[in-house]
Amino acid sequence: MPGEFRARIPEGSITGWLDGDGPPVLVLHGGPGLSDYTAPLGAELEDAFRVIRYQQRGPAPSITSGPFSISQHVADAIAVLDAAGADRAYVIGHSWGGHLAMHLAVRHPDRVLGLVIVDPLGAVPDGGASDMEQNLTARMRPELAARARELDERAMAGQGTAEDALESMAMVWPGYFSSPQAVPPMPPLTLSVECYAGTLASIQAHFDQHTLERSLPALTVPALFVLGAASPIPTRHGVASADLIPGAQCQIEDCGHFPWIERPGSVRKALERICR
């Protein structure tokens, strides 16, 4: 049935939402540590798919405590699939959620029908994170860039707050899009600093171990990467990730980091391609 549901886990619960009817599609939002912002993407799909969205642990209304690790995020995703009654599902992951989708697929290939990876943090260290930071800074006015650096320094010193992080995100928000005319208002967001820091540490540990580089070549599910030509994450990082997966393809769109906003229908087109 459509509506909100709870996936029970040992420490509490993960809150999710079901909409539409058809083949199941699990949507993984980015961050890490952000509140879910993928409702508009889900609305594009729900006339033909059963869309499963959920709030990843960190922000309410899901459990706000850790552990904040790749392993735990993957386990949470499986709990959500179980609670939604989906033995297998197509998985759409955006940004950090695309990185998580790749980990989910290599750990539980029996639960994944196919992957649509949308402008992700890549699989090959450092996934494009450094390039993204540099490009976002370059797209800001100098006074905003200085303020963002100040907030980053506070965060690195362990003095940052969720309010600082959201202020910084509001300043960099326009840089995620292809042009000033394409920038929509930033949606209301909340952020868990603890989840952000803990998950980034786990991501780095897996980069150090080359987990995805070693595991993705064994993946047999169809995969399609939707990449923004004007994204602050250069497309080469997504292409390098796709090259690790046998048969994976790339769909490069004339847009920034949020293809479904600037190019409505582009993510749905990719999903329909892997469903054939």
Q: Answer yes or no: is 166 within a domain.
A: no
d(CA 23, CA 208): 36
Q: Answer yes or no: is 9 within a domain.
A: yes
Q: Answer yes or no: is 148 within a domain.
A: no
Q: Answer yes or no: is 228 within a domain.
A: yes
Beta bridge partners of 251: 226
Q: Answer yes or no: is 207 within a domain.
A: yes
pLDDT at 162: 77
pLDDT at 1: 54
CATH at 200:
3.40.50.1820
Our count of domains for the chain comes to 1
What's the one-letter identity of residue 234?
A: P
Query: Each residue's pLDDT tens digit in the chain (276 positions)?
Result: 579 999 999 999 999 999 999 999 999 999 999 999 999 999 999 999 999 999 999 999 999 999 999 999 999 999 999 999 999 999 999 999 999 999 999 999 999 999 999 999 999 999 999 999 999 989 988 888 888 778 777 765 667 787 888 888 888 999 999 998 889 999 999 999 899 989 999 999 999 999 999 999 999 999 999 999 999 999 999 999 999 999 999 999 999 999 999 999 999 999 999 998
Q: Which residues contact 156 (CB under 8 A, 6 or more apart)?
A: none
pLDDT at 158: 61
Q: Answer yes or no: is 10 within a domain.
A: yes
Q: Answer yes or no: is 173 within a domain.
A: no
Q: Answer yes or no: is 202 within a domain.
A: yes
pLDDT at 128: 98
Range of the domain at 90: 3-127+192-275
pLDDT at 155: 64
d(CA 223, CA 145): 36
Q: Dihedral (C-alpha) 198, 119, 161, 149: value to the nearest 10 degrees?
A: 110
